[in-house]
Amino acid sequence: MQDTPDRYSRHTLLRMVGQGGQDKIQKARVLVAGLGALGSTISILLARAGVGFLRIVDKDVPQLHNLHRQILYDEMDVSLGIPKVDAARMNLLSAASNVEIDAINQEMAETNIYSLLDGIDLVVDALDNSETRFVVNDAIVDLKIPYIFGGAVETVGNVMTIIPGRSPCLRCIWPDPSSIVGHARASTVGVLSSVASLVASVQVTEAFKVLVGDIENAINGILVIDIWKNQFHVVPVEPRPNCTCKKICSQ
């Protein structure tokens, strides 16, 4: 479909976005790491906002017990058993044909992380395991690529915006990644669909701030949400003096 000048007018009317901010969004190259509940909402919002290039990475297929929160997929996708990235690409392009979608049917790992991050301006985290998050964390710190960490389980969610050289990284909070391996997962304790959607929306808001250049208003610390208890608060996080990436974090 041919774009019209007012396609993004409800965003460009915002004083914090404006045409200048929208132009930056449309030139941005963003990687969405994982296409589960968070990745569904994140990629839909980013594509519909006109992010110029989206690299979506996952190696899974849609399953019926995930449809309550993974809103990129439908029952037909489950029946066909097609990869998430392929179902997602078709869905995203149907709403935003002007966005370039690079669908990668792979697990993110130490072996491919640098090629996946090639040419990327921003990473939005929608992973379902801590091990891979630390692979991403170390690479984005090395390459100085902003990274929006997010997670949701039960009724609880976290969001943290990591700007290498300016803010702490995941290892500043959890110096030993193995200490959080085995934490509660949706497959064992469940996840409320609405907290996943909320966390993803906060992450996308942080992504917009980074893309338009308003990092002064980014979350300073880690946002902790319990949607059932209506609790939202930011826990301050300081760069850990002996963080293994300190020499990079502090530059």
Interface residues toward Zn ion, by CB under 5 A: 169, 171-172, 243, 245, 249
Tell me how far apart the alpha carbons of residues 200 and 35 are, in angstroms, rounded to a whole number.
11
Q: Are 234 and 192 in contact (CB under 8 A)?
A: no
Q: Which amino acid is at 204?
A: V
Q: Are 37 and 197 in contact (CB under 8 A)?
A: yes
Tell me 64's DSSP state.
G
Q: Which is nearer to Zn ion, 192 or 245 (CB)?
A: 245
Tell me how far apart the alpha carbons of residues 131 and 243 are, in angstroms, rounded to a whole number.
17
CB of 67 to Zn ion, least distance (A): 37
CB of 20 to Zn ion, least distance (A): 32
Cα angle at 124 between 119 and 127, to 5 degrees? 115
Q: Which is nearer to Zn ion, 19 or 250 (CB)?
A: 250
Q: Which is nearer to Zn ion, 222 or 245 (CB)?
A: 245
β 156-162/222-226 pair status: antiparallel
Q: Which is nearer to Zn ion, 52 or 239 (CB)?
A: 239
Q: Which is nearer to Zn ion, 165 or 213 (CB)?
A: 165
CB of 171 to Zn ion, least distance (A): 5
CB of 246 to Zn ion, least distance (A): 6
Cα angle at 239 between 234 and 241, to 5 degrees? 145
Please give the helix or strand (H or E) that residue 103 lies within, else none: strand 100-104
Q: Which is nearer to Zn ion, 61 or 172 (CB)?
A: 172
CB of 245 to Zn ion, least distance (A): 4
Cα angle at 213 between 210 and 215, to 5 degrees? 60
CB of 145 to Zn ion, least distance (A): 14
Please give the helix or strand (H or E) that residue 57 lies within, else none: strand 53-57
